[in-house]
Amino acid sequence: MSRIVGIDLGTTNSLIAYMDKGAPRVIPGPDGVTKVPSIVGMTDNGLIVGDPAKAHLTRNSARTIYSVKRFMGKGLADVSDELKYFPYSLHEKNGVIRIEIGEKTYSPPQVSAMILKELKRRAEEFLKEDISKAVITVPAYFNDSQRQATKDAGMIAGLEVLRIINEPTAAALAYGLQKKTQGIIAIYDLGGGTFDISILKLKDGIFEVLATNGDTHLGGDDFDQRLIDVLVQEINDKHGFTIQDHPDLMQGVRMEAERAKVRLSEETEATVVVELPTEKYEKTLTRETLESLVMELVERTLAPCRAALKDAGLRADQIDEVVLVGGSTRMPLVRNKVEALFGKPPHSELNPDEVVALGAAVQADILGGHNKEILLLDVTPLSLGIETMGGVMSALIRRNTTIPTSAKEMFTTYVDGQTSVDIHILQGERELVKDNRSLARFQLKMPPLPAGVPRVEVTFLIDANGILHVTARDIRTSEAQSVQVKPSHGLTDDEVEGMIRDSFQFAEEDIKARQVIEARTEANAIIVATEKALGRASDLISDKEKAEIQRVLQRLGETQKGDDHRAIRAGIAETEKQTHHLAEVLMDATLKEALESKKVSEFVK
């Protein structure tokens, strides 16, 4: 059995974790940082993901995709309110959003796959083995289409997704494993783009979810937006400027707003600096200002908490422990509100950014057959039903039902000789079809018989991933019928296959982009180190040599701005050759120093 990794595919940051001798561990990048910003940049040289793409955001915002998770499993109408905030244009095909970058269009699962591939590569480099299997987390309140889209992303990235697991439950696994907690716990998970609340009962290694609720459209990104709106207004008023016309500057404002928000969790004041073309905009923000801006958003998380408690049949005081998950729970305001609601201080001992990925690794371990002690029993967050007469939804599986679960429904005909029945599957809590989420449609074949005689039984099964499967059987002949379900907001199998093929092509572009970035980073490091060395060795080498080195350095500085990694490599080699003597001289000097200081220390002894 090959290794299974756990992946937290977040709105703003993503992480990958594995099980290391019975304990989950997040895999760091070469720089030791575990978070990979969920940002993808399409440069002329191909694809860049993570931190390099974040830098790309202010240079070329129209070709940089962020917060793609918000688009997963959605149509254009679902995101119409926030279109104005995104610097790239979107359209819809077959109910699925497509993101336009230059000549090309990408579906959200394709972009997510690029992030997944980066994580996969990171793990492969760290673990020195091929990674092909993963557990991926999603917000608990994700519907069927959003889960399916996440699974598709995994496939496009060349990963077999063994399980889609809910983020708060993943956090509970990591937390419960470490703390050996028993009793009722509430996981309050406020991330970059989504909010979840899950209430679990922990008993003898069984993690049983009692209820879950949330808002897949509420998170730190929205906090940023409130701050951005204020800053933009002020910049425009003060400097007689329309900053919205400068997408790259807007991204600069966005990053500054996020930075200030993060700082204000630790400090009571933070300064925002935006470089405008002609002048500099500066503003000092207080924690109070931020809190008053986001108060309404934070309070919006309380209604789902109350709803979850009600569904679990519990009062707030019956919760033994409250655990905070997600970067946004670092805000003191959030902590205070949660504490007020549950009447006890929440726990946040585990790193709220990493705990979900750690839990995914625990679940991966269970699926790999290495952990028989722990079992997670999760629920479906939304009621599942079908459309009936008069545009009303008839629920077949209620929300907060433990999964896997199934419901059977018998269908017949209304007219003599009718040969098919159309079935529309929905998810949601509202009475009317139009207020719920359309998941899929399919056509049930009926034998041509008098009205009411055919009897076809349809089984709706929600698996442990929270994903729906539909099967049908003719009761009279007891023959199974194949059902072609057409998702309302999902990619078809053919499309996914096409995207898997395309991803190989992207892979080549990826490699090229990576080579440029790596060469550039290396060149920068050499420039900095050489300049430092020149400073130290100014009286150890001749002026002529010094001038020669400076000339080479300047040339390397020019080359590394370009996109030709071979030229940068050549520049690095040239610099190394030119500084060889300098390095030797410095080494001698250092050795001499060391020897002398040793003598002194021996003498002191």
Partner 1 sequence: MVKLAMPELSEDRSLMTTHRHHHETLAGSRELPMARSMCWHCQSEVTGEYLCGQCVKVQPLSKELDYFACFKLPRLLNIDEQELERTYHELSRTFHPDFYSTKDESEKMISLGNSAFLNSAYRTLKDPIQRVEYLIRLEAGAVKDIRSNPPADLFEEILELQEDMETFRGLVSEQDSPERDELRQKLQREREHLEDRQAEMEKLLRAKYQEWDQLQNVKTDQGEIHEQKKSVLRGMQEILSNRTYICNMVNELLETTG
Q: Give the interface with partner 1 as residue ranges (CB under 8 A).
A: 1, 162-163, 203-204, 206, 363, 366-369, 372, 375-377, 401-406, 461, 463-464
Q: Report DSSP state, residue 62.
A: G
Burial of 5 (0-12, 13-18, 19+ CB in 10 A): buried
Nearer to partner 1, 293 or 467 (CB): 467
Say how many C-beta atoms besides its own lie within 10 A of residue 390's C-beta. Answer: 7
Does residue 344 carry a catalytic annotation? no
Nearer to partner 1, 316 or 374 (CB): 374
276: phi then psi, degrees, rounded to nearest 5: -90, 165
Does residue 208 carry a catalytic annotation? no
If DSSP codes are grouped into helix, strand and coil, which group holds residue 168? helix
Q: What is the spatial distance between Cα 327 and Cα 355, in angstroms, rounded to a whole number?
A: 11
Least CB distance to partner 1 at residue 367 (A): 4
Give the active site residue among 118, 152, 167, 215.
167
Q: In which region does residue 22 sit, left (phi positive, over 0), alpha (psi from -120 to 50) or beta (all else)?
A: left
Give the active site residue among 69, 133, 151, 261.
69
Say how many C-beta atoms besides its own lie within 10 A of residue 177's C-beta. Answer: 21
44: phi then psi, degrees, rounded to nearest 5: -60, -20
Does residue 8 carry a catalytic annotation? yes
Give the active site residue among 189, 222, 354, 365.
189
Q: Report DSSP state, residue 27.
A: P
Least CB distance to partner 1 at residue 255 (A): 41
Nearer to partner 1, 61 or 380 (CB): 380
Q: What is the spatial distance between Cα 333 and Cα 341, in angstroms, rounded to a whole number?
A: 12
Least CB distance to partner 1 at residue 431 (A): 11
Least CB distance to partner 1 at residue 504 (A): 27
Least CB distance to partner 1 at residue 133 (A): 9
Nearer to partner 1, 307 or 586 (CB): 307
Q: How many CA atoms lie within 13 A of 217 on its CB side?
A: 9
Least CB distance to partner 1 at residue 479 (A): 16
Q: Which residues pair with 397 in a beta bridge?
A: 384
Nearer to partner 1, 353 or 365 (CB): 365
Nearer to partner 1, 303 or 591 (CB): 303
Nearer to partner 1, 370 or 476 (CB): 370
Nearer to partner 1, 313 or 557 (CB): 313
Q: What is the spatial distance between Cα 368 and Cα 162, in angstroms, rounded to a whole number?
A: 10
Does residue 167 carry a catalytic annotation? yes
What b/e string do you get for 202-222 counting C-beta neighbours within 10 Å, with b at 16 or more? Answer: beeeebbbbbbbbbbbbbbbb
**Which residues are CB-contacts of 404 (< 8 A; sequence separation ≥ 6)?**
461, 462, 463, 464
Report whether 61 contacts 90 (CB < 8 A): no
Token code pair at residue 270 = 């933070």
Token code pair at residue 203 = 């008993």
The string of DSSP codes covering 387-411 is EEGGGEEEEEE-TTEESSEEEEEEE
Least CB distance to partner 1 at residue 143 (A): 19
Report whether 145 contacts 468 (CB < 8 A): no
Nearest CA among 227, 244, 342, 235 for reference residue 293: 227
Least CB distance to partner 1 at residue 399 (A): 12
Catalytic residues: 8, 69, 167, 189
